[in-house]
Structure 1
Amino acid sequence: MIVLVDASPESMERARQAVSICQRFGAHLIGVFVSPPGWARVPAESFAIGSAAIQAVIQRWKALQNDATDDAFRAFETSIRNESVSFEFRAVLENEISDFLYLHCLHADLVIAGVRQFNALPSFAPAIEAQFASSGTPMLLIPEDWKGGDIGARVMLGWNASREARRAIIAAMPFFNTAQAMHVVVVDAAKNSRLGEEPGSDVALLLSRHGIDVTLNNLVSHGRAIANVLLEFAAQNALDLIVIGAYSHSMTRERLFGGVTKTLLQRSSVPLLAVF
């Protein structure tokens, strides 16, 4: 399991959540720090002239990167020092993150990041999302201000009878099996012929055959954004995890015109498990 970390208090809480999940499922934890380039902190130094001046700037940049990495490692280690979980720490330069993520996601069951942290990744973030999609690794986004305790006690599956939502069931089954309450939520079933005559009943039956006690909820948006409908339902029912199949419509279309996945990735107020 991978958790993206830094030296912030929010990152330390995210690491604690990651430890809790690892302990629940017997997983190994990998803390990954994305190190920003030194010039991003002192952009004026990019205009240094002369070999000696340029070499001095490069050395300062490297020192800044090393200091940031050391701070992130200490914060991560402090968060999990007294916990019974196996762990390791890795650092990657910001301009190498795209290829790094793909390679490491292929060998991880889950990637955990903060909502703001994920959306603050470099300007080539669309390429990073594409790496997640290519790897097929589920991603758990935790809001930086999340105060709801451990994640996965009260869970919601957003169901639209898509291939992506079906893959989300497989990825999230460990959470479903340990949840105290499990909701399947269908929004605007009348607009989706794939849901059949009894929308959501078939998938609820599937989950029940895995020993999961499911509550089926059919909601109507009345013209509101579906993402908002899901978030409102989560808040009203004190849920601590939303599970979705990401980008049932194409990723490009959602970037251009918006969509449920993009909205939830950008501003979910509840921990979000997105399966690409």
Structure 2
Amino acid sequence: MEQDIIREDTAMKSILLHIDSDRAMPARLQVALDLARASNGHITCLQAISYEVFAPGDFYGSAMAAAMPVIKEAAEKLRAEIEAALAKEDVAWDWRFVYGAAEYRLLEQAALADIVLIGPHDAGEGARGPSGMAGTLALKAPVPVMVVPADTKRFDVTGPMLVGWNGSAEACVALRRAVPLLAMASKVYLATVEEPRGEGRFDFPPLEGAQYLSRHGIEAEIVAIPRGDARISDTLFSAAQMRGCVLLVMGAYGHSRFAEMLFGGVTRHSLTEPQMPMFLAH
């Protein structure tokens, strides 16, 4: 009984959902619904629009003035569509419409949230590549961030989940914050990608991560994966897919963000084209 009370208290009940017209919107709405049902939670839909239109030579603001009604009309249409869909669902929700850049408004609202759900690309962009917003939120938000790819059909909270482990402080933070989800999983894997001798970070060996989870009643299987020639991000995704996992848990930006931008890095490569929902914390 005591263990059930602990898990109830740490459940992700306040779900902050980014609303935008990108291709992944239906996917993260479905994930938000699945999470809310599993935890008897509440979805806060946050729709942020910005009128910061860059128009060279627009000294008198004529281009911005012309864009404002178009942007507002599109936002109102999207809101009507999603509210109509939510009205048919059996979950609690509310809507917050704000002005400004989405990542900063999400950071503000995350102060009283348990998790933030976003898409894999920046707001208003269909381009492929890592999301700057995802990086900012993963580093600065006081809660974990879940990045949901567009092809996600649903999120089975009882499905297997894989934790990418390199023994770093960031990996430890991600593990701790993922406990409410890992507690619902049918199977948890703690996966390490073996590095050449002397290059591993293992400040905390995998066994310590597994022992931490066991204190929460979660049994984890430690998996050691040969480094090989593939990127670590691709190796982790492949390992998760081979085991039928529904979620990849990772510590975000294990070394400086600037270095990751210049040289790549597991977080950056993972965000470029995520192959399943990703749970990030820093």
TM range (shorter): 0.7 to 0.9
Shift of 1:118: 6.0
Aligned to 1:140: 146
* Runs of 5+ consecutive residues of structure 2 not aligned to the other structure: 1-14
Residues 122-133 of structure 1: pairs in structure 2 closer than 5 A:
126=132, 129-133=135-139
**Superposition deviation, residue 215 in structure 1:** 1.3
Q: Which residue of 1 aligns with 2:200?
A: 192
Quick one: distance in 2 between partners of 1:77 and 1:102?
23
Question: Does structure 1 residue 258 correspond to structure 2 residue 264?
Answer: yes
Q: 1:106 aligns with which of 100, 106, 111?
A: 111
> Hey, what's the Cα distance between the residues in 1 that align with 2:36 and 2:241?
26
Distance 1:112 1:178, change over 3 A: same
1:229 to 2:235 alignment: yes
Measured against aligned partners, the alpha-carbon deviations of 1:192-248 in whole angstroms (never above 9, x if no partner) come to 25357xx41221122123211221101111242111110111121111100011011
Which stretches in structure 1 are left out of the alignment for 5+ residues? none
In the other structure, the counterpart of 1:115 is: 120
Range with bigger deviation, 154-163 or 71-80: 71-80
Task: Give 1:67's aligned residue.
Answer: 73
Cα distance in 2, alignment partners of residues 182 and 127 from structure 1: 28
Greater Rg by CA: 1
**Contact 2:138-2:280 at 8 Å conserved across structures:** no
Summarize deviations over 1:119-172 as a string: whole Å, max 9, x none: 9499xx647733542233211011101236535521001111111111112211
Pick from 88, 99, 110: which aligns with 2:94? 88
Aligned length: 264
RMSD: 3.0
Distance 2:35 2:154 in 1: 15
Contact 1:38 1:62 in 2 (8 A): no
Quick one: structure 1 residues 13 and 79, their matched pair in 2 at CA, closer, same or farther if it must change by over 3 Å?
Answer: farther
TM-score (norm 2): 0.81
CA distance in 2: counterparts of 1:152 and 1:79, whole angstroms:
25
Task: Give the aligned partner of residue 49 of structure 2.
Answer: 35
Question: Between the two proteins, what is the percent identity of the paired residues?
Answer: 22
When residues 81 and 13 of structure 1 are mapped into structure 2, their CA distance, relative to the original with a 3 A threshold, is: farther
TM-score by length of 1: 0.83
Partner of 1:273: 279
The 5 Å alignment of 1:163-178 reads 163-178=169-184
Aligned CA distance change for structure 1 residues 151 and 9 (closer, same or farther; 3 Å):
farther
Q: Tell me which amino acid in the other structure corresponds to 2:277.
A: P
From the two aligned structures, give the one with the greater helix fraction. 1
| Alpha carbons 2:27, 2:149 under 8 Å: kept | no
Structure 2 residue aligned with 1:212 = 218
What is the distance in 1 between the residues matched to 2:160 and 2:104? 35
- Deviation of 1:63 after TM superposition, in Å, equals 1.6
Alignment of 1:233-252 (within 5 A): 233-252=239-258
2: CA distance, partners of 1:118 / 1:251: 20
**Could you tell me which amino acid in structure 2 is paired with residue 78 of structure 1?**
A
Once the two structures are superposed, residues 51-76 of structure 1 have per-residue CA deviations (whole angstroms, 9 ceiling, x without a partner) of: 8x93xx65542221221211221222
TM-aligned CA distance change 1:119 to 1:167, over 3 Å: farther
> 2:10 maps to which residue?
none
- Structure 1 stretch displaced more, 27-36 or 64-73: 27-36
- Cα deviation digits, residues 14-44 of structure 1 (max 9, x gap): 212101101212322111224354857xx6x
